[in-house]
Amino acid sequence: MAISHLHCLQSVRVAFPGRPSDSNNYYYGRDNFTRKGSSLVYASTNNLNRDLHLQSKVETVLDSVKWDDRGLAVAIAQNVDTGAILMQGFANREAVATTVSSRKATFYSRSRSMLWTKGETSNNFINVHDIFLDCDRDSIIYLGKPDGPTCHTGSETCYYIPVFDLLENQQDKEDKLALTTLYSLESTIAQRKGELEVPQSGKPSWTRRLLLDEKLLCSKIREEADELCRTLEDNEDKPRAASEMADVLYHAMVLLALKDVKMEEVLDILRRRFSQSGIEEKRSRNSQA
Amino acid sequence: MAISHLHCLQSVRVAFPGRPSDSNNYYYGRDNFTRKGSSLVYASTNNLNRDLHLQSKVETVLDSVKWDDRGLAVAIAQNVDTGAILMQGFANREAVATTVSSRKATFYSRSRSMLWTKGETSNNFINVHDIFLDCDRDSIIYLGKPDGPTCHTGSETCYYIPVFDLLENQQDKEDKLALTTLYSLESTIAQRKGELEVPQSGKPSWTRRLLLDEKLLCSKIREEADELCRTLEDNEDKPRAASEMADVLYHAMVLLALKDVKMEEVLDILRRRFSQSGIEEKRSRNSQA
């Protein structure tokens, strides 16, 4: 497989990773490889020196990656807030360098033999917050925030074919997203909420009762928060604290479902709060208090 | 690259996916490929028919996977509770079939040209709860629960080399796990807890104050839970509800840090509760209430 742009990196300016991705002076995308020279914006000597220094560092990191015989490594895009694996592709040197500079998850398409930035046609970019290599340095995580559904099918992630359900002939579940515990619970609660209009025989589930009775729900949230506190105040054991926290989380998530708030929105808030500098954090806290 | 066992599947019995992985009658591992016939336990005709039926289904699913020219697909192991990407390897037909039957994440080692089950030497197996294929059917997620650290270095996951930190010369952070928001926050709180003995100048951080003052912490948890409830009772807007939930979560996680309880333990409890059948769920709920 031909990888025509594999050695182009030397001639490409690389942005400081802390810079915002929309800074035109520092962005370079796939186009720059074909229109080299024409779109470069010349910065001051200081900036140039810093850029050259950074470029050399990026090359050192890229040199340390164990590219396979096709010059590729596996690249996995993961949602920084939910942990959902959004998609998996392959990356070559340029793809990683482009991701570092543009902060948009970029891959190397083996079928089209070219770089592609996820979102370049759909506008559903994956905004990369961090990049990790594994112990063998041949596998990469792009930890980022997607602008919208990642899959070309419109699905939130590309992983929605559940093998065990297929084996059990649960055809109705053929489109079941790979969800981890918190989001699987969120999905169950949302499902119960969706069934509220459907009359049910027999005793209603606890979730259904909570969804139908705001007074009961709020009294449970306050009660569970109190019980969580008492595990500390009364020096109760660890399993008790974990169990009470599970109760707090579950009941609070039922309230979130009623308010149409996703856990992802909550985690987005926490990330923004805690990625701020100490001073900003304190200021934001004081303004809330 | 020779893949000697690629077409052995027809002769191998495959377990029903719902069965526990330690059921000897149904387990087959790598050894069965070399000691075929000698270790098979003969089941009743009914069991045999069911097994053959399931085997045929597994083969249909495996036929649908788009194996590359080496007969491989990318296989990613993800922690079902935390969402952490534990490791990434490659799988061939046998590796996926073995994972389906044994429920232990199994890969194909390209360097050793053989199957390997993660944990076969370290005993740190990854117990697979679900398997997902992506839209292109050439990438696989093993969603599972690890018995211990996944990385051969003893690290919880294999992804601990942060590229942006390397570029910023933060050598002290060279071993920083790829953490998503919730676990990044948990790690920050744990760090503050670890610094409690260190005298500090200036105003302490809010987290430090909470860690040092249990009364303040518990009053905040009760207050935030109350404010979350009021977003429902007073019909406040969605951003307010999300923000209050973020407050509840953060303050409760400070308490968990004091109790040495990990969010993973809390999610483990939630998964066990909500993966139970309705009757069991109700029984477990009643016994807690």
- Could you report how far apart the first and last alpha carbons of chain B are, in Å? 59
Mutate to test the interface with A, among B74, B164, B286 (most CBs of A within 10 A): B164
d(CA B166, CA A59): 12
User: Locate tokens 């810093």: which residue?
Assistant: A50
Alpha-carbon dihedral B189, A251, B246, A20, rounded to 10 degrees: 100
Q: How confident is the model at residue A276, as a pLDDT?
A: 54
Residue B20 falls inside a structural domain: no
DSSP string, B148-173: S--STTS-SSSEEEEHHHHHTT-GGG
The verdict on A122 touching B (C-beta cutoff 8 Å) is no
- Domain-ending residue, one of B146, B161, B192: B146
- Domain-ending residue, one of B146, B164, B188: B146
d(CA B93, CA B107): 10
Residue A78 falls inside a structural domain: yes
Select from A87, A100, A222 the Cβ nearest to the Cβ of B225.
A222
Select from B134, B225, B232 the Cβ nearest to the Cβ of A225.
B225
- Domain-ending residue, one of A96, A127, A146: A146
Indicate which CATH number applies to the domain containing A183.
1.10.287.1080
- CB–CB of B181 and A259 under 8 A? no
- CB–CB of B18 and A168 under 8 A? yes
How many inter-chain contacts (A to B, CB under 8 Å) are there?
A: 304
d(CA A240, CA B198): 30
Residue A45 falls inside a structural domain: no
Q: How confident is the model at residue A201, as a pLDDT?
A: 85
Residue B153 falls inside a structural domain: no
d(CA B128, CA B77): 9
The domain in which residue A70 lies consists of 60-146
Q: Which two tokens stand for residue A281?
A: 């954090």
d(CA B8, CA B5): 5
Q: Clarify whether residues A192 and A238 are in a common domain.
A: yes
Per-residue burial over B126-137, b if 16 or more Cβ lie within 10 Å, else e, is bbbbbbbbbbee
Select from B76, B188, B231 the Cβ nearest to the Cβ of A76.
B76
| Residue stretches of chain B with pLDDT short of 70 | 1-44, 170-174, 276-289
Interface list for A 203-222 with B (CB within 8 A): 203, 205-206, 214, 217-218, 221-222
Q: What are phi and psi of A129, to 5 degrees?
A: -95, -30
Q: Which two tokens stand for residue A206?
A: 């606890």
Residue B249 falls inside a structural domain: yes
Residue B232 falls inside a structural domain: yes
Q: Clarify whether residues B268 and B194 are in a common domain.
A: yes
Q: How confident is the model at residue B151, as a pLDDT?
A: 96
Q: Considering its fold, how many domains does chain A have in total?
A: 2
Q: Clarify whether residues B126 and B186 are in a common domain.
A: no
Q: Clarify whether residues B270 and B183 are in a common domain.
A: yes
Q: Clarify whether residues A132 and A190 are in a common domain.
A: no
The amino acid present at B132, given as its one-letter code, is F
d(CA A251, CA A128): 32
Helix (H, G, I), strand (E, B) or coil at B90: strand
- CB–CB of A241 and B261 under 8 A? yes
The verdict on A194 touching B (C-beta cutoff 8 Å) is no
Residue B221 falls inside a structural domain: yes
Q: Which two tokens stand for residue A107?
A: 């891959």
Q: Which two tokens stand for residue A282?
A: 């304190």
Q: Clarify whether residues B113 and B187 are in a common domain.
A: no
d(CA B267, CA A232): 20
d(CA A251, CA B240): 17
Select from B18, B153, B168 the Cβ nearest to the Cβ of A17.
B168
List the pLDDT tens digit at each of the 289 positions of chain A: 333 333 333 333 333 333 333 333 222 333 333 333 444 454 567 888 888 888 899 999 999 999 999 999 999 999 999 999 999 999 999 999 999 999 999 999 999 999 999 999 999 999 999 999 999 999 999 999 999 999 999 999 999 999 999 998 766 555 799 999 999 999 999 999 999 998 888 889 999 999 999 999 999 999 999 999 999 999 999 999 999 999 999 999 999 999 999 999 999 999 999 985 443 344 444 443 3
Q: Which two tokens stand for residue A17?
A: 């990773």
Q: Clarify whether residues A132 and A193 are in a common domain.
A: no
Burial (CB count <10 Å: 0-12, 13-18, 19+), residue B24: exposed
Helix (H) or strand (E) holding A162: strand A159-162
- CB–CB of B222 and A226 under 8 A? yes
Indicate which CATH number applies to the domain containing A86.
3.10.20.810
d(CA B51, CA B14): 6
Residue B212 falls inside a structural domain: yes
Establish whether this prediction's ipTM goes over 0.85: no
- CB–CB of A161 and B137 under 8 A? yes
The amino acid present at A82, given as its one-letter code, is T
Q: Clarify whether residues B213 and B131 are in a common domain.
A: no
- CB–CB of A259 and B238 under 8 A? yes
